[in-house]
Amino acid sequence: MASRLRIFNVNQIINYVIHKGRPKCPVFLQPRWRSTLNAAVPPKTQSNRKLLIGAAFGAVGIGFGLYNYFLPSESKQKHTAGVALTEKVDFTRNDNIVDIKPSREISGPANNIGLDLTLYQYQTCPFCCKVRAFLEFYGIPYKIIEVNPVMRQQLKFSKYKKVPILIAEDKEASKKHQLNDSSVIISILGTFLQDVPFGLDSVLKYYVPVAYINEEGKEVEEIMNKYFLMFGDKYKESADTYLKKERQWRKWADSVFVHVLSPNIYRTYDEALQAFNYFSEVGEWEKNFSAIERLIVIYVGATAMYFVGRRLKKKHALKDDVRESLYDTCKQWMKEIGSQKKFMGGDMPNLADLAVYGMLSSIEGCLAFQDLLKNTNIGPWYYNVKEAVVNHHGYQKLKL
Ligand SMILES: N[C@@H](CCC(=O)N[C@@H](CS)C(=O)NCC(=O)O)C(=O)O
């Protein structure tokens, strides 16, 4: 399954090279929060791009400069104290989406849910892998638009500039909804699949983003119940503990688990290079970049990420040997499942299983993954989830 990876921080590297480097992936790098409430960043010109590629060569020699570049500039974009809550009506509707030829189409048995889905993604982004695991598990057909991480022209229609983005076209209502953020996408679709006739419009009303100024004085926008499935009157109190645990571990995947991946795949310079060559292969960079761009991204990327990986190790207080932290985190996950159950969800993977599996699948081709299989007992669980995903076991659960 060589197809799973282009990765997280590749985007920062590429953006450093091409766009004078704004940190882009909050998972692996501390972000400078870019408000989704404000206008999009203006596109850069081709000549800028070439100049910057030239400049990037210099960056190879000054790896530390690059490393420093990724350091957050917390002082920027501060607001005065105070909290502003806003609610938006029809907030997901986007009529600016341009029809682009999909990179590929994924088929599945759940083809009668009344939605036409298009996933904007990077093949090896762990958040995108997570959404794909969910869709595949339920056998939901969808189209993929592979975003070019250099130019990102496919995201021009959107103010939100991260992936994954899912465009859900409600065929009956002829409306296109833009769903941002992997966990939000999964919760919305998860709720929708409980009761398809209820309609997507009705489900969206439960996931209203609020904009507010956080304690650091920054403007942020959030969907407060992003880990919740909204069951309405189908809610059974007996399921309370189970659901709470599912939510908790989905959140753990986003806020803990994902952070051990990056320092592990960039642990040494050789590993970083191996990872980047792997991303290049599975992300088909030969198609997306010129030969020189590809080499820059691989070598600048590997160099930079080696240093970034060290910084992230510190930031997330990982052990001196980061493999140990990877093993510990996975052991913690396996301990939570226990020896009696096949999955956290019991006989079937639940959303937490899918989240952890999806993210882990993003490093399947890296040395760190091989080491993980050798040093922990996560392998059987991982391949069981994979089997359930690939064979759309979730489809049986749907009442369509
Ligand atoms: N919380 C978001 C995080 C998404 C995210 O950080 N995506 C990164 C890729 S791993 C991204 O698109 N960064 C912007 C960029 O590369 O331009 C989610 O769960 O979807």
Residue 14 has pLDDT above 90, yes or no: no
Active site residue 25: no
State the SS3 of the chain. CHHHCCCCCHHHHHHHHHHCCCCCCCCCCCCCCCCCCCCCCCCCCHHHHHHHHHHHHHHHHCHHHHHHHCCCCCCCCCCCCCCCCECCCCCCECCCCCCCCCCEEECCCCCCCCEEEEEEECCCCHHHHHHHHHHHHCCCCEEEEECCCCCCHHHCCCCCCCCCEEEEEECCCCEEEEEECHHHHHHHHHHHHHCHHHCHHHHHCCCCCEEEECCCCCEEEECCCCCCCCCHHHCCHHHHHHHHHHHHHHHHHHHHHHHHHHHHHCCCHHHHHHHHHHHHHHCCHHHHCCHHHHHHHHHHHHHHHHHHHHHHHHHCCCCCCHHHHHHHHHHHHHHHHCCCCCECCECCCCHHHHHHHHHHHCCCCCHHHHHHHHHCCHHHHHHHHHHHHHCCHHHHHCCC
Q: Quick one: pLDDT at residue 10? A: 52
With cut-offs at 50, 70 and 90, classify the pLDDT of residue 87: low
- Nearest alpha carbon, ligand 1 atom 10: 8
Place of tokens 């762990």: 126
Average pLDDT over residues 2-11: 42
Place of tokens 């598990």: 137
Give me the percent of the chain exceeding a pLDDT of 90: 58
Is the pTM for the entire model greater than 0.85? no
C-beta of residue 222 within 8 angstroms of C-beta of residue 178: no
Residue 62 has pLDDT above 70, yes or no: no
**How many residues make up the chain in this entry?**
400
Q: Which of 262, 3, 290 is nearest to 122 (CA)?
A: 3
Q: Quick one: pLDDT at residue 18? A: 43
Q: Quick one: pLDDT at residue 50? A: 38
Average pLDDT over residues 257-286: 92
Sign of CA dihedral 299, 300, 305, 307: positive
Give Cβ neighbours of residue 400 (< 8 Å, ≥ 6 apart): 110, 112, 113, 196
14 - beta bridge partners? none
Q: Quick one: pLDDT at residue 210? A: 87
212 - beta bridge partners? 220
Calculate how far, in angstroms, residue 149's C-alpha sits from the geometric centre of ligand 1: 11
What's the CA gap between 28 and 38, in Å, rounded? 24
Bigger pLDDT: 332 vs 298: 332
CB atoms within 10 A of CB 228: 17
For the stretch 48-51, contacts whose Cβ atoms lie closer than 8 Å and that sit 24 or more positions apart, written own/partner, are 49/18
Average pLDDT over residues 5-15: 46
Give Cβ neighbours of residue 218 (< 8 Å, ≥ 6 apart): 33, 77, 78, 79
Residue 304 has pLDDT above 80, yes or no: yes
Average pLDDT over residues 193-206: 93
Q: Quick one: pLDDT at residue 89? A: 63
Backbone φ and ψ for 374, nearest 5 degrees, come out as -70, -30
Backbone φ and ψ for 10, nearest 5 degrees, come out as -55, -35
Residue 52 has pLDDT above 50, yes or no: no
| Ligand 1 neighbour 26 (Cβ under 6 A) | yes
Active site residue 128: yes
Give me the percent of the chain exceeding a pLDDT of 70: 76
Residue 106 has pLDDT above 90, yes or no: yes
Residue 8 CA, closest ligand 1 atom number: 10
| Ligand 1 neighbour 183 (Cβ under 6 A) | yes
Q: Quick one: pLDDT at residue 262? A: 94
Calculate how far, in angstroms, residue 328's C-alpha sits from the geometric centre of ligand 1: 25
C-beta of residue 208 within 8 angstroms of C-beta of residue 193: no
Active site residue 122: yes
* Lookup: tokens for 242: 């189970």
- Nearest alpha carbon, ligand 1 atom 2: 181
Q: Please write the tens of the pLDDT for every residue from 130-176.
A: 999 999 999 999 999 988 776 788 999 999 999 999 999 998 888 99
Average pLDDT over residues 381-394: 98
| Ligand 1 neighbour 125 (Cβ under 6 A) | yes
Among left, alpha and beta (phi > 0; psi -120 to 50; other), residue 67 is alpha
Bigger pLDDT: 225 vs 87: 225
Terminal alpha carbon distance of the chain: 30
Q: Quick one: pLDDT at residue 287? A: 80
Q: Please write the tens of the pLDDT for every residue from 337-346.
A: 999 999 999 9
Residue 86 has pLDDT above 70, yes or no: no
Q: Out of 70, 120, 125, 279, pick the active-site residue.
A: 125
Mean pLDDT estimate for the chain: 81
State the SS3 of 364-391. CCCHHHHHHHHHCCHHHHHHHHHHHHHC
What's the CA gap between 63 and 125, in Å, rounded? 24
What's the CA gap between 63 and 13, in Å, rounded? 12
C-beta of residue 296 within 8 angstroms of C-beta of residue 16: no
| Ligand 1 neighbour 181 (Cβ under 6 A) | yes
Active site residue 127: yes
